[in-house]
């Protein structure tokens, strides 16, 4: 239903049943735009996406995950940026946040875009381009990029559910020009069955992988402030995850080694995390501990390019 109709739709079906396969066969069998393939055995998120990139024949690529969707003008609006900036590599826009049924939550959408610095004052070319990826201004969907660059970067399966964020960061670091369009072009759906929800409280959560990736990333001096900004948001989430999974010592070392992330101790969150770490240490020794009256802190979904 895109207003720009000259598109190729490359599908990599990793599902455990044949419902998608039957849908494509019954409804879209005669649509020449569709290149469908079912993966047997399943490839997993990163390898499946990498296979899609390899199969794509267009000169630009847009990735959309199975539970999210594009607004009908998405490709047209993003593609128009290449007319404004002929040497552009990447363009992206705002996202709506929706529930399981696709109903838009406008308040949550405003908070999400503002948190990731997608605001009217930031519209246009991003300088330096890599910053858009590091601070996660670059979204998991609603982006369009030159195919040659996308294929050069590829998807790395070493980072689990964090592979979207890793890809977006590396893409923006390699791009000559990155443009942000202050207009909603896609929808990010929050569901109970997404990979991020299933792993969000475990040591496999994407926040931990994102932290390791950021810490080890080689960056020019001009991008160090962007790394610090990203870690400022990420470190408290990782500390919380470590405490929840009885890694008390690692959580304490991370918190004390990054006090700037807690406003150097002037943050109630810091003391709540210290209580969580104390509880985890006691539990690791087999002692019974009750922690009452404190809010339940949930890690923020950082997979598919979302960071706290």
- What percentage of residues in the chain have a pLDDT greater than 70? 89
Its pTM surpasses 0.85: yes
Q: In the chain, which segments carry CATH 3.90.550.10? A: 9-198
Contact (CB, 8 A) for 195 and 97 = no
For 222-239, write each residue's pLDDT tens digit. Answer: 999 999 999 999 999 999
Close Cβ partners of 20 (under 8 Å, ≥ 6 residues apart):
11, 13, 38
Q: Confidence band (pLDDT; 50, 70, 90) for 298?
A: very low
Q: In this predicted structure, what is the pLDDT of residue 301?
A: 44
Using CB atoms within 10 A of its CB, is residue 222 exposed (0-12), middle (13-18) or buried (19+)?
A: exposed
Architecture of domain 9-198: Alpha-Beta Complex (3.90)
For 164-220, write each residue's pLDDT tens digit. Answer: 999 999 999 999 999 999 999 999 998 877 665 555 666 668 889 999 999 999 999
Q: Confidence band (pLDDT; 50, 70, 90) for 247?
A: very high
For 29-51, write each residue's pLDDT tens digit. Answer: 999 999 999 999 999 999 999 99
Using CB atoms within 10 A of its CB, is residue 233 exposed (0-12), middle (13-18) or buried (19+)?
A: middle
Q: 274 vs 12, 25, 229, 283, CA distance in Å?
A: 44, 55, 22, 14
Q: Confidence band (pLDDT; 50, 70, 90) for 158?
A: confident
Q: 45 vs 9, 158, 164, 195, 304, CA distance in Å?
A: 18, 11, 9, 10, 10
- Which residues pair with residue 36 across a beta bridge? 11
């Amino acid at each position: 239903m895109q207003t720009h109709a000259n598109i190729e739709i490359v599908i990599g079906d990793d599902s455990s049943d044949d419902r998608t396969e039957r849908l494509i066969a019954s409804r879209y069998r005669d649509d020449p735009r569709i290149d469908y393939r079912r993966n047997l055995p399943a490839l997993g998120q990163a390898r499946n996406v990498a296979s899609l990139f390899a199969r794509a024949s267009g000169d630009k690529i847009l990735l959309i995950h199975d539970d999210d969707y594009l607004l009908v003008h998405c490709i047209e609006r993003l593609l128009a940026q290449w007319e404004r900036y002929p040497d552009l590599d990447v363009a992206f826009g705002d996202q709506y946040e929706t529930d399981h049924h696709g109903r838009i939550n406008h308040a949550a959408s405003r908070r999400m875009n503002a948190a990731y610095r997608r605001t009217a004052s930031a519209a246009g070319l991003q300088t330096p381009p890599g910053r858009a990826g590091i601070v996660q201004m670059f979204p998991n969907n609603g982006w369009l990029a030159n195919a040659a660059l996308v294929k050069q970067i590829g998807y790395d399966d070493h980072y689990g559910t964090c592979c979207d964020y890793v890809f977006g960061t590396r893409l923006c670091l390699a791009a000559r020009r990155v443009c942000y369009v202050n207009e909603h072009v896609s929808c990010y759906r929050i569901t109970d069955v997404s990979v991020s929800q299933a792993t969000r409280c475990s040591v496999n959560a994407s926040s931990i992988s994102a932290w390791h990736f950021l810490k080890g990333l080689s960056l020019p001096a001009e991008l160090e402030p962007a790394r610090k900004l990203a870690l400022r948001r990420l470190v408290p989430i990782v500390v919380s995850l470590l405490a929840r999974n009885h890694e008390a010592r690692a959580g304490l070392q991370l918190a004390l080694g990054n006090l700037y992330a807690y406003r150097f101790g002037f943050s109630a969150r810091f003391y709540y995390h210290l209580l969580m770490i104390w509880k985890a240490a006691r539990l690791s020794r087999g002692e019974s501990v009750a922690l009452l009256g404190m809010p339940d802190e949930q890690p923020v979904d950082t997979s598919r390019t979302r960071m706290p």
